Amino acid sequence: MAEENKKSVAYTDDNIRHLSDMEHVRTRPGMYIGRLGDGKLPEDGIYVLLKEVIDNSIDEFKMNEGTRIEIEVEDNLRVSVRDYGRGIPQGKLVEAVSVLNTGGKYDSKAFKKSVGLNGVGIKAVNALSTKFEVKSFREGKVRSLTFEKGIKKTDKTTKSNDEQGTYIYFEPDNTLFKNYSFQDDIVVTMLRNYTYLNTGLTIMYNGHRILSRHGLKDLLSDNMTVDPLYPIVHMKGDDIEIAFTHTNQYGEEYYSFVNGQHTTQGGTHQSAFKEHIAKTIKEFFGKYEYGDIRNGMVAAIAINVEEPVFESQTKIKLGSTVMSPNGETINKFVGDFVKTNVDNFMHIHKEDFTDILENKIKETERERKAMAGVTKLARERAKKANLHNRKLRDCRIH
Q: What is the DSSP letter of 248?
A: S
> Would the pLDDT of 396 be above 90?
no
pLDDT digits (tens, 9 = 90+) for 6-39: 566 777 766 676 677 777 788 788 887 888 999 9
> Would the pLDDT of 380 be above 70?
no
Burial class (CB in 10 A: 0-12, 13-18, 19+), 151: middle
pLDDT digits (tens, 9 = 90+) for 278-295: 999 999 999 999 999 999
Q: Cα dist. 350→39, 89, 127, 225, 357 in Å?
A: 47, 54, 57, 26, 9
Q: Are 199 and 215 in contact (CB under 8 A)?
A: yes
pLDDT at 73: 97
| Of 248, 315, 260, residue with least CA distance to 34 | 315
Q: Lowest mean pLDDT: which of 64-68, 206-210, 224-228, 382-386? A: 382-386
Q: Are 194 and 215 in contact (CB under 8 A)?
A: no
| Spacing of C-alpha 377 from chain mean position | 44
Task: Report the alpha-carbon distance of residue 78 to residue 358 in Å, rounded.
Answer: 52
pLDDT at 63: 84
Pairwise pLDDT comparison (249 vs 106), residue with the higher score: 249
Q: Are 124 and 32 in contact (CB under 8 A)?
A: yes
pLDDT at 258: 92
Task: Report the alpha-carbon distance of residue 56 to residue 62 in Å, rounded.
Answer: 10
Domains along the chain with CATH numbers: 21-210 (3.30.565.10), 216-360 (3.30.230.10)
User: What is the secondary structure of 158-194 as a DSSP string?
Assistant: EE--SPSEEEEEEEE-TTTSTT----HHHHHHHHHHH
Pairwise pLDDT comparison (214 vs 34), residue with the higher score: 214
Q: Are 363 and 246 in contact (CB under 8 A)?
A: no
Q: Are 281 and 342 in contact (CB under 8 A)?
A: yes
Task: Report the alpha-carbon distance of residue 114 to residue 108 in Å, rounded.
Answer: 9
Give the percent of the chain with pLDDT over 70: 84
255 forms beta bridges with 300
| Spacing of C-alpha 164 from chain mean position | 28
For the chain, give the mean pLDDT. 87
Task: Report the alpha-carbon distance of residue 368 to residue 294 in Å, rounded.
Answer: 13
Q: How confident is the model at residue 392 (pLDDT cuts 50, 70, 90)?
A: low
pLDDT digits (tens, 9 = 90+) for 86-123: 999 999 999 999 888 666 555 555 566 665 544 568 99
Q: Are 243 and 197 in contact (CB under 8 A)?
A: no
The predicted model gives 157-167 an average pLDDT of: 96
| Spacing of C-alpha 328 from chain mean position | 23
Task: Report the alpha-carbon distance of residue 268 to residue 266 in Å, rounded.
Answer: 7
Q: How confident is the model at residue 381 (pLDDT cuts 50, 70, 90)?
A: low
Task: Report the alpha-carbon distance of residue 220 to residue 254 in Å, rounded.
Answer: 10
pLDDT at 17: 67
Indicate whether this model's pTM tops 0.85.
no
Q: What is the DSSP letter of 329?
A: B
Amino acid letter for position 272: A
Task: Report the alpha-carbon distance of residue 254 to residue 373 in Å, rounded.
Answer: 30
pLDDT digits (tens, 9 = 90+) for 301-350: 999 998 888 887 667 889 999 998 889 999 999 999 999 999 999 999 98
pLDDT at 29: 80
Give the percent of the chain with pLDDT over 90: 65
| Of 58, 74, 32, residue with least CA distance to 169 | 74
